[in-house]
Amino acid sequence: MADVPENAPEHCPGTTSEQAGKSAPCQGCPNQKLCASGATKAPDPAIAEIGEKLSTVKHKILVLSGKGGVGKSTFSAHLAHALASDTTKEIALLDVDICGPSIPRIVGLEGEQVHQSGSGWSPVYVEDNLAVMSIGFLLSSPDDAVIWRGPKKNGIIKQFLRDVDWGELDYLIVDTPPGTSDEHLSIVQYLSATHVDGAIIITTPQEVSLQDVRKEIRFCQKVKMPIIGVVENMSGFVCPKCKNTSQIFPPSTGGAEKMCADLKLPLLGKVPLDPRIARSCDEGRSFLSEVPDSPAAEAYQKIVKSEFVFRKTPTQMSIVQSVTIKGQNKSCVT
């Protein structure tokens, strides 16, 4: 699914397109014969293997946002913690943020390592019923940079889905990096032979954030990923001294509320800024059990227990996307 290799001619139609090997720019390209043979259009066999492997996972939820730093990893970790509080359920949390894996720190597993077993890589456990996988467990030091272009990131995501011994799961939560690029296309592609409940979209109230989030919503629509709902984080800050509420990231265009109304999406809830959330994440403890009666913890609990998150209609996704850049007539890479 590379579609357009780096060494492709300028108007390469993409190695998986119908025109691969046949269009004018293909003339003289070293890959022309290969593309024309149809070999590049064959689906990756890993998709079927992953479909088989994850057939024992009842629910799959992706946590997405076009914007970075809005609390995707914090939400993912706390959703996993909240689901795992029912000890009859088996939960797993997969971090596909390859260049900025925050999950090991947030769930208190920094420095842990993955072990190889007969049935694949073993995830690392936070609780008996909460398994975690992240590239952070494969690095020699938490400060190591993973300086990888897309294909290697896609390769490790494939391994996380295919080669990890996930076992039987009730919920698989997938935390993602910001954007609408390799990691997002790959996770959708690799899960395309399974059923996915949908995506929870995280934002903050200001327009600069919502703008990127609307792009992520477009992405979901294009790949036919159902949207479970939207969570607004950093929604107001109550001064601990005088109890005055400040909008630190002001919802100048109406915040998530207006966006959800415009786009007809459920707003799952608004979580206020609370310094204890960031501190708990830094210290690898669950904010929900540290300060369970805080307004932020209550907002979180309400969201993760909402009917939207628990709905029972996993859906098959598509992997057809296109975007037009003005005057360029370029379609997107899948």
Annotated binding site for ATP: 66-73
Q: Is 77 helix (H, G, I), strand (E, B) or coil?
A: helix
Q: Does 43 bind a copy of itself (CB under 8 A)?
A: no
Q: Roughly how many angstroms between the first and final C-alpha of the chain, as a whole number?
A: 6
> CB burial class (10 A; 0-12, 13-18, 19+) of residue 143?
exposed
Nearer to a copy of itself, 82 or 135 (CB): 135
The Cα–Cα gap between 165 and 161 comes to: 9
Annotated binding-site residues for [4Fe-4S] cluster read 12, 26, 29, 35, 239, 242
Residue with tokens 């100048």: 252
Phi, psi of 270 (to 5 degrees): -120, 130
Region of 192-200, 295-303, 305-313, 318-326 interacting with a copy of itself (CB under 8 A) = 318-326
Using CB under 8 A, count the residues that bind a copy of itself: 99
Q: Which is nearer to a copy of itself, 159 or 306 (CB)?
A: 159
> To the nearest whole angstrom, how small is the minimum distance from the Cβ of residue 162 to a copy of itself?
12
| SS3 state of residue 132 | strand
Chain positions 98 to 137 lying near a copy of itself, rule: CB under 8 A, are 98-100, 102, 105-106, 113, 116, 135
Give the 3-state secondary structure of residue 145. coil
Nearer to a copy of itself, 10 or 293 (CB): 10
CB of 19 to a copy of itself, least distance (A): 16
Q: Report if residue 24 touches a copy of itself, rule: CB under 8 A.
A: no
Chain residues 200-259 in contact with a copy of itself, contact rule CB under 8 A: 204, 206-209, 211-212, 214-216, 218-219, 222, 237, 239-242, 244, 246-250, 252-253
Token pair for 225: 């990923």
Q: Is 264 in the site for a copy of itself (CB under 8 A)?
A: no
The footprint of a copy of itself on residues 54-93 (CB under 8 A) is 66-70, 73
Q: Considering the complex, state which of residue 98 and residue 169 has its C-beta at the smaller distance from a copy of itself.
A: 98
Q: Contact, 15 vs 26, CB < 8 A?
A: no
Mention every residue, 6+ apart, whose C-beta is less than 8 A from residue 124: 104, 109, 112, 113, 114, 131, 132, 133, 137
